[in-house]
Chain A
């Protein structure tokens, strides 16, 4: 099983890298250079914070951008090329196929994240601000968030068009980031059962946001890491199983 998933993942990774997804790294470099040269003079005394904040935010945002642009069309592309028909005649379950697709997307995001982290570290060293190991905490949080968002993109790619899939994934990303604040606001206003249920259905992306703690060095409790890791794993598994269930019911004739 693992071998079959690995094969799909490898080919997905190669396909995505051939699509010149790595150009995102150039965009990241531009953001970093722009923030360090144009924006830092506007924030006297807080130059380092500006570069680190924008660098960490850009790693997260660009990861999501890749998921929106590439992740939601993973399955559709194979359908259009008819290569999916060939694949499904092989001894490969739909879950294995989708898990491979997800893993390939995650691999691409991993390559991008490592490259962007290296550029951020290099940029901070060159500017004389210095790199702190605690920034890895924030990047790890972003990586967990990307795992969840990639699984959502794969889920949507099984039953909608890439455009709609991108819109739905983006909506869940926005909702997921708002869910904690929304729940708090609803409870403060006396509570609204319907909105509470809606917010519980959204991915709790605030759990993975460790950027503030990393930048200010306030430390992240170990429990939060464990909870975030378990939550991400559960979310990914649920999304992939659900995607496989929907995919199994689809008629490709």
Chain B
């Protein structure tokens, strides 16, 4: 009997664990849907990260993504998203992906383009060599803000980064044409058609050059 006692207790413990789990699930079902716990104050996060700021930024970013996911399912109004984003940006100022994706969420789901541009501006200050952030500013200014002039300025800035040059130049050429600056658009597409390694982009660029040449002649202009 004595020898069986530990097994008896083990069996009881297993049964109790199963019951506790079920009770917990019932309890959770009766509760209103929980909102992802808000992050603590940013200076506090900086302190408790104990030098592991990048890993802490990753965890804060995951929390932000969950918060956004909950918003998509109708669980919150996204009002805390800016705070999450600022926490991530403060812990790891070089986390470009968070600036880009966070600004898209703020501009589209949050309907707050100025806040999105502010996030990207903050990122650009911390990462002056990055073209991805001005590119995103241009993209959001055009797509969400419908501000082609501002977008063109940002794309011009983005094209100074060799990693973004082709992409930014393509958008720059597209917008220049849209704004009636045919000569600029022509030169940009021509440059792309001559220097890109991307075969399909070269075809698009050559086609655009031909179309612009025709358009300029039609207006009585001489292609440069």
List residues of A whose CB falls within 8 A of some B CB: 39, 42-46, 49-50, 53-54, 56-57, 60-61, 174, 177-178, 181, 185, 205-206, 209, 211-212, 215-216, 218
Cβ contact within 8 Å between B54 and A211: yes
Q: Which chain B positions have C-beta within 8 A of A49?
A: 54, 58, 95, 97
Q: How far is the CA of A149 from the CA of B196 in the complex (A)?
A: 53
On whether the beta carbons of A206 and B65 are closer than 8 Å, the reply is no
CB <8 Å contact, A216 and B58: no
Q: How far is the CB of B39 from chain A (nearest CB, A)?
A: 15
16 additional contacts (CB under 8 A) given A53-B54, A57-B52, A218-B94: A42-B66, A43-B58, A43-B62, A45-B97, A46-B58, A46-B61, A49-B58, A49-B97, A50-B58, A57-B54, A178-B47, A181-B46, A205-B51, A206-B51, A209-B51, A211-B52
Closest-by-CB residue of A relative to B52 is: A57
The 3 closest A-B pairs by CB, nearest first: A177-B51, A216-B94, A57-B55
Beta-carbon nearest neighbor of B51 in chain A:
A177
Please give me the residue from chain A that is nearest to B69 by CB atom. Answer: A42
A178 CA / B57 CA spacing, docked (Å): 17
Residues from chain B with a CB closer than 8 A to the CB of A211 are 52, 54
Interface residues of B (CB under 8 A from A): 43, 46-47, 50-55, 57-58, 61-62, 65-66, 92, 94-95, 97-98, 101
Give, as a whole number of angstroms, the nearest-CB distance from B23 to chain A: 26
Q: Is the CB of A212 within 8 A of B92?
A: yes
Instruction: Kindly provide the distance from the CB of A67 to the nearest chain B CB, expressed in whole angstroms.
Output: 15
Q: Assess whether B54 is in contact with A212, with CB atoms less than 8 Å apart.
A: yes
| Minimum C-beta distance from A170 to chain B (A) | 11
Which residues of chain A have C-beta atoms less than 8 A from B94's C-beta?
A: 212, 216, 218
**Complex alpha-carbon distance, A9 and B218, angstroms:** 86
B54 touches A44 (CB 8 A): no
A43 neighbours in B (Cβ, 8 Å): 58, 61-62, 65
5 contacts between A and B (CB under 8 A): A49-B97, A50-B58, A56-B55, A211-B54, A212-B53
Chain A residues, Cβ within 8 Å of B66:
42
CA distance A53 to B66 in the complex (A): 20
CA distance A209 to B52 in the complex (A): 8
Given contacts A43-B58, A54-B55, contact A174 B98 (CB under 8 A): no
Are B47 and A46 in contact, with the CB atoms below 8 A?
no
Q: Which residue of A lies closest to B94 (CB)?
A: A216
Residues of A within 8 A of B57 (CB): 53
Structural contact, B101 and A39, CB atoms closer than 8 A? no
- Complex formed: what's the CA distance from A53 to B98 in Å? 15
Rounded to whole Å, the gap between the CB of A51 and the closest CB of chain B is 9
List residues of chain B with CB within 8 A of the CB of A46: 58, 61, 95, 97-98
